[in-house]
Amino acid sequence: MTPLVIGIDIGTSGARAVAMRPDFSIAGQSAVRLDRFGQNPRDPSAWWQAVQAALTGLLSSIDRAAVRAAVRAIAVDGTSGTLLPVDAAGRPLAEPLMYNDKVADADILAAIAREAPEASAAHGATSGLAKALQFQHLPGIAAVLHQADWIAGNFSGRFDISDENNALKTGYDVEARRWPDWIAATGMRMDLLPDVVEPGDVTGTLTAAAAEMLGLPPDVVVVAGTTDGCASFLATGATAAGDGVTALGSSLTIKILSDRPLSAPRFGIYSHRLGDAWLAGGASNSGGKVLAQHFPLARIIELSAKIDPTTETGFDYYPLGAAGERFPIADPALPPRLIPRPADDADYLKGMFEGMAAIETLGYRRLAELGAPALTSVRSVGGGAANPAWTAIRRRKLGVDFLPALSDEAAAGTARLALKGASKAGLL
């Protein structure tokens, strides 16, 4: 019987689960909206109910008897920078602070700014460390955990462990592979920080209660997961230095697999560790949200069919929805550049596609200037990846192979980590 592993993605809108075979093919998948379990996306009980429902749906979509015997491992990814305080039994002690929640305590932010190295991802009001410092004085607190840590703990019973990717924004030093001493100087209680392992390491097995709930054997291993962003990259199948992934969603995000870490705080760039490789990238304020300010989706599809991607409009657009850019130009006052506007809407849309492709090209060039390898291939995800005219323009400007993304589901990337853990444990 072909072994299976399960990857789980818990995000801001719901939970997704993917069952994967050792050849990376997907045996089944399921998704459940978070609002089925209440209107509060910060409610950990809603997270857990959504995960259970997604798993129930997944197991029901394939031969349940076969699944019982075939599943070897399970892993979880969650939103980066989402933290919650728990007691010794893993029970949440307060409402979590989500990835985009800001800590307003000026003393906490000043302590981090004073002690953290410039290149640390722990800077800023939304950092995991800022949230941990805010939580640490709660009565009965035993640990501060990231979202994925807590979900995985509900499977394994371990509420004292995290992975290198989730721990990055809480100040973990991924190069030295330890919590650095400067964190204590901020006033943080080091005993509340979880142990950290490499994504894909086995951290335990299912508890009897979790095994019974899922109808799975108790010897299924629980594997350290990752952040949602890293999981999305892994899902595409990009594995070699120089492989790039462009996400064409509401914003334009690019990531590249590197053989060395990159750090450029002024561009919001830091590196996640993936074994002996590094994942670095940046996010532009350009992207689908800008297009939507000018045309509804149906009109974009209609106009795209009229575009000849082999020619240039001659426009030099820098499409932004408002002043300010993060990457590949770090300028909070950079103005949008969307004039002159031609009479033909198709030409205007084409000019915006060209401008965004130029931003993408400059982004990969900027990463190379900072030490990343030269771009060798691109995989594309997000709604914009389905637009053939935009794709052809991007392909012409980037001048590298465009490869198909094996999946755009973060849960599939996490399933790849589960496969890694199952292999390490000799279960495949």
| pLDDT category of residue 62 using cuts at 50, 70 and 90 | confident
Enter the tokens of residue 348. 């205007």
Q: Is residue 219 in some structural domain?
A: yes
Q: Is residue 235 in some structural domain?
A: no
Residue range 309-352, pLDDT digits in tens: 999 999 999 999 999 999 999 999 999 999 999 999 999 999 99
DSSP state of 220: P
> pLDDT > 70: what percent of the chain?
100
Whether residues 186 and 304 share a domain: the answer is no
Enter the tokens of residue 100. 């985009």
Enter the tokens of residue 74. 């399970």
| pLDDT category of residue 63 using cuts at 50, 70 and 90 | confident
Indicate the pTM of the whole model. 0.93
DSSP one-letter string for 93-117: -SPPBPTT-----HHHHHHHHHHS-
Q: Is residue 169 in some structural domain?
A: yes
| pLDDT category of residue 17 using cuts at 50, 70 and 90 | very high
DSSP one-letter string for 290-315: HHHHH--HHHHHHHHTT--TTS----
Residue 145: partners with Cβ closer than 8 Å, 6 or more residues away: 83, 84, 85, 86, 153, 159, 162, 194
Whether residues 155 and 255 share a domain: the answer is no
Q: Is residue 132 in some structural domain?
A: yes
Return the CATH number at 102: 3.30.420.40
Q: Among 68-72, 258-262, 299-303, which stretch is predicted with the lowest mean pLDDT?
A: 68-72
Residue range 213-232, pLDDT digits in tens: 988 989 999 999 999 999 99
Whether residues 247 and 160 share a domain: the answer is no
Residue range 121-179, pLDDT digits in tens: 999 999 999 999 999 999 999 999 999 999 999 999 999 999 999 999 999 999 999 99
Whether residues 398 and 415 share a domain: the answer is no
| pLDDT category of residue 204 using cuts at 50, 70 and 90 | very high
Q: Is residue 116 in some structural domain?
A: yes
Whether residues 282 and 342 share a domain: the answer is yes
- Domain extent for 286: 240-403
- Closest by Cα among 264, 280, 256, 266 to 165: 280
Q: Is the pLDDT of residue 69 over 90?
A: no
Whether residues 219 and 257 share a domain: the answer is no
pLDDT of residue 421: 98
Give the Cα separation of 326 and 180 in Å (integer).
28
Whether residues 213 and 128 share a domain: the answer is yes
| pLDDT category of residue 1 using cuts at 50, 70 and 90 | confident
Whether residues 214 and 252 share a domain: the answer is no
Residue range 352-399, pLDDT digits in tens: 999 999 999 999 999 999 999 999 999 999 999 999 999 999 999 999
Instruction: Tell me how many domains the chain contains.
Output: 2
Whether residues 47 and 125 share a domain: the answer is yes
Paired sense of beta strands 14-20 and 4-10, if any: antiparallel
* Per-residue exposure over 298-310, b if at least 16 CB sit within 10 Å of its own CB, e if not: eebeebbeebebe
| pLDDT category of residue 68 using cuts at 50, 70 and 90 | confident
Residue range 231-279, pLDDT digits in tens: 999 999 999 999 999 999 999 999 999 999 999 988 989 899 998 999 9
Three-class DSSP labels, 361-401? HHHHHHHHHCCCCCCCEEEEECHHHHCHHHHHHHHHHHCCE
pLDDT of residue 268: 86
Whether residues 194 and 68 share a domain: the answer is yes
> How many other C-beta atoms lie within 10 A of the C-beta of residue 1?
7
